[in-house]
Amino acid sequence: AQSVTQLGSHVSVSEGALVLLRCNYSSSVPPYLFWYVQYPNQGLQLLLKYTSAATLVKGINGFEAEFKKSETSFHLTKPSAHMSDAAEYFCAVSGPIIQGAQKLVFGQGTRLTINP
Amino acid sequence: DGGITQSPKYLFRKEGQNVTLSCEQNLNHDAMYWYRQDPGQGLRLIYYSQIVNDFQKGDIAEGYSVSREKKESFPLTVTSAQKNPTAFYLCASTRSGNTIYFGEGSWLTVV
């Protein structure tokens, strides 16, 4: 079974500062890992995904995440925060793809606030 | 434009009433999903379907029902048996286990 823990339900950073959103996972099989972003009253948009290729994954909007198997972590970072990054961020884990279906297990989300 | 369309965006349900949320996709995706989102919580899987005329329960299927008569459509019915239906509902789809894409969501409120 898979599970995800996002450390910190709310993170606040200044504009231009480093963004670090933490995600730890548990999986009995090699995981697929994802970060999604959600703006108010909208659906989820994929930021990036790890599927057992390179451990450092680059995504959209300047975000990246590093898969660390020894730490069971997949933290999301961005070197310089922008006001438009304010949103809810979800980490998710998936096990093997079975008959074309992939069941994602989500963390509880981290709300990112950017201070001017 | 290709995408996932959910309707309505906002829906109000009276006690004891069944309501249906629509989800349509024109991405030619095989698998479709319904998730429920509550404030301060992550998304929880209600039902998913891998092919037409087949679907499986997710983690919180009680009080919900679905159908998959067409590849493009995966409606969700919230029945009167669902005692706490007020939430944000998200439909999603994927082709052959690739990236899962989400619709814009539907708000359901009990009045």
In this complex, the residue of B51, B97, B105 whose CB is nearest that of residue A102 is B97
User: Where would I find the beta strands (DSSP E) of B42-86?
Assistant: 43-51, 54-57, 64-66, 76-78
In this complex, the residue of A100, A102, A107 whose CB is nearest that of residue B42 is A107
**Spatial separation of the C-alpha atoms in residues A50 and A32, rounded to whole Å:** 6
Per-residue pLDDT tens digits for A66-109 = 999 999 999 999 999 999 999 999 999 987 667 667 788 999 99
pLDDT at A100: 65
> A26 is written with which tokens?
């548990």
B38 contacts: CB under 8 Å, gap ≥ 6: B44, B87, B88
Counted across chains A and B, CB pairs separated by less than 8 A come out at: 64
In this complex, the residue of A43, A49, A107 whose CB is nearest that of residue B99 is A49
**Which residues in chain A are closer than 8 Å to B109, comparing Cβ atoms?**
none
Distance from chain centroid for Cα B37: 11
Contact A100, A32 (CB under 8 A): no
pLDDT at A6: 96
Least confidently predicted of A58-67, B35-44, B72-81: B35-44
Q: Which residue has the higher pLDDT, B81 or B69?
A: B69
Q: In a mutagenesis test of the B interface, which of A47, A52, A104 is the best target, namely the one with the most B β-carbons within 10 Å?
A: A104
- Section B31-56 average pLDDT: 92
